[in-house]
Amino acid sequence: EKKEKKGKASKEPEAPKEDAEPEPVWKRRKEVKTDGTPCHKREAKLVGCTDGLKVSHVLEHLAPLGADAVVDIRFYHASGIRLGKVEFSTQAHVAAAFALPPLAFGGEEVVVIPKRSVEEERRSEVILSNFPTPLNLGQIKAHYVGLLGPGTVYCVYLLHGRWCYVQFKSPELALKAQESPRPALGMKEVLVKPNRSKDEREKCELALCCTALRDEQIIAHYKPLGQYPIVGIARVTTQQVTLLEFYTAEIAKKALEWKRIVVNSREIVLKPFRTQAEDHKCEVVIHASVDDLSREAIKEHYSSLGPNSITKITKSGDEKMQFVEFLTRDLAMQALALPRPGGAIVKPNRTKEEDMQCQLVVESSTVPDEVLIDHYKELGPNSLVGLYANQNRSVRYLEFLSWKTTKRAFSMGRPMVDGRPVPVRLNRTTEEELQATLVWKPLPAGFAVEAVKAHYKSIGEGCVMKTSVSPDQAVCFVTFWNAKQAQQALALPRPVVGGQEVVVKPNRSPEESRRCQALLKTSALSEKSIKKHYRELGPTAVVGVTVVPEGNVTFVEFMTHALLLKALALPAPKHKKGAEVPVGPNKSKAEVHKCSVLLLNCPDTVSDAVVRKHYTKALGAGSVVGTSYLKGTGKGFVEFQTEALALKAKALEGPTVDGTQLVVKATRSRGKGAKERRKQRKVSTAGSAPAAEPAMDEDDD
């Protein structure tokens, strides 16, 4: 049709209008022939483009190259700067465009520069800061052209009014510019730094814990470290620090060891620029007040770590503890290995969860503290960093220096009191214990726990923390040190003990097990056929099959909830006769209620096939899980896979059975409202003459 309309249209071109706009450059792509080289090799970049610059201005500037030199010109914005891109027909035209003088427009010089990779362009730039305003860009360009020669500077531009970018012909020229004398602009010393990536810049940045110092004071203090040691200064008011960027990472390292700035007899600390969480990792906690252990005594105790090793000492709100921040985390670890100052307990500054991971729980009220301390003293003099008890002292908590030390303490064996071992366990919640525990069942005859450790040897030596076998020798609980190791263990093939395959599954609560179960509305399928049907999910996907003949249902438990969802997305299993088995998640009563609709006016002849066909056609195959009918009441229930499908079904018209349109309503729980209404009916009818039986309330279902 389009071709016919095009053929009917007049082929005579319209007469051009007077003062018509020139034809867009992008339409010339089909007209201008290129030399066949890739597009990116024939492209150049335009810098210095003001808002008033148009394509016609650039074409006029490039006219000496020939009528067919330019293929396309486009403008775009990057970081708030207007730039241009020119595509030439040949590489020779690109070289000729570089030789042209700049285009003067709008008080700016529009320059054609070669298109380079982002990395090469970044390494060819330097960034100027700390300059007076307004800045004369021509003066900056003249400064570097005078130092490095004509043709060395491609362009100079401002970004956000705070930084001046100077782009050179090559990265080597940019390096020379950084080491050459800086531009003289007024009384301030202009700072010149390389255009580095974020990772490179962070290695050269340090935080000066003061924002009141003038730039001249800071630059003068670190001047002995090199010709231009500081290349950037910025104040971070949110953290009350001045961010100093040094020329190289080596100079930054020297600055940390350099003498500190002193203002009014107070040392200004220079330290790595870190987040608060990273600062905490570099701190140790000393359980001693300022009266018991002064700051001077702490600095003297840790003086062997270096003159600038301590960056900050603060006290807690109750003044019973002091927090000592070190320059690096390595220095904090070295401080923990030193003898304790004044005999006070010293520990890392950890979160509550990290402290719990390093604790053992002693469930005994009779064992003395001295017995516990004496039992674990072979771990080292600084290994035990805390001994706490609950209010009635029925439980004690032993906190160790690190998680590694805690594992060693747990593996040592239990303390002995009157010849009996004291119960000791890791301090973790029931949920964490369940996540780190797996269940082996059924156990073959002659099962030994050594088979468990041998099976999981590939995860790591000593990964199994403990094993416990049920009294009836039917189940073995395998506990790992953490949940991550338990997940790795689940990924391994099932163990074979005595020629029998043992099923391994997570140690879940009944509610979690239900969330991982599928409900099959049949009891005729065997466990072997069910596993064969779901074998594409993996050899360990199905961890349990429970057949309930009385209810004509089968529960299939999967390894994870995600695997259950994948199983529900597969085609349903089939009976021997070929009929599909209804499959859905094993929902709770409340979930079944939300995923169901109520059918009213159901005749006694209503059948599951008619209702299922009606909703399958509208909502898709597998949408209906099951149906049930209350004979003689005219009511029925339809259960769907999800609550969303039930809401869609409610909005649809009900199925038609024997010419009767069924009414669809949402199911409602038999809550307090229904009970109260029944009570009111009984009270209102008590003592009165017999009346007709009231109609059944919809809530009575």
Does residue 138 belong to any structural domain of this protein? Answer: no
Do 339 and 395 lie in one domain? The reply is: no
Q: What's the confidence (pLDDT) of residue 684?
A: 57
Do 611 and 553 lie in one domain? The reply is: no
Does residue 681 belong to any structural domain of this protein? Answer: no
Q: Which of 296, 319, 348 is the last residue of a domain?
A: 348
| Interval 654-690: pLDDT, tens | 888 888 888 888 886 555 555 565 666 655 555 444 4
| Interval 542-565: pLDDT, tens | 888 888 888 888 999 888 888 888
Does residue 409 belong to any structural domain of this protein? Answer: yes
Does residue 499 belong to any structural domain of this protein? Answer: yes
The pLDDT of 625-648, averaged and rounded, is: 86
The band of 80, judged by pLDDT with boundaries at 50, 70 and 90, is confident
Q: What's the confidence (pLDDT) of residue 678?
A: 63
- Which residues of 363-498 form beta strands (DSSP E)? 384-389, 396-400, 416-417, 420-421, 424-426, 437-441, 464-469, 476-480, 496-497
- Report whether 233 contacts 189 (CB < 8 A): no
Do 477 and 555 lie in one domain? The reply is: no
Q: What's the confidence (pLDDT) of residue 555?
A: 92
- The CB-based long-range contact list for 332-337 (8 Å cut-off, 24+ gap) reads 332/281, 332/282, 332/283, 332/284, 334/305, 335/284, 335/302, 335/305, 336/284, 336/382, 336/401, 337/382
Q: Which of 591-595, 682-686, 695-699 has the highest mean pLDDT?
A: 591-595
The band of 106, judged by pLDDT with boundaries at 50, 70 and 90, is confident
User: Which residue range is the domain that position 319 belongs to?
Assistant: 276-348
| Interval 34-51: pLDDT, tens | 878 888 888 998 888 888
Q: What's the confidence (pLDDT) of residue 486?
A: 87
Q: Which of 491, 506, 521 is the last residue of a domain?
A: 506
Residue 94 pLDDT > 80, yes or no?
yes
Does residue 215 belong to any structural domain of this protein? Answer: no
Do 57 and 78 lie in one domain? The reply is: yes
Q: What's the confidence (pLDDT) of residue 695?
A: 44
| Interval 221-247: pLDDT, tens | 999 999 899 999 999 988 899 999 999
Do 579 and 642 lie in one domain? The reply is: no
Q: What's the confidence (pLDDT) of residue 25?
A: 52
pLDDT averaged over every residue in the chain: 85
Q: What's the confidence (pLDDT) of residue 1?
A: 54
Does residue 179 belong to any structural domain of this protein? Answer: no
Do 598 and 666 lie in one domain? The reply is: yes
| Distance, CA of 406 to CA of 604 (rounded, Å) | 70
Split into its structural domains, the chain has a count of 6
Q: What's the confidence (pLDDT) of residue 544?
A: 82
What is the bridge-based pairing of β-strands 205-208 and 270-272? Answer: antiparallel
Does residue 677 belong to any structural domain of this protein? Answer: no
Do 474 and 545 lie in one domain? The reply is: no
Q: Which of 411, 426, 441 is the last residue of a domain?
A: 426
Does residue 123 belong to any structural domain of this protein? Answer: no
CATH number at residue 666: 3.30.70.330
**Lowest-pLDDT choice from 25-29, 369-373, 509-513:** 25-29
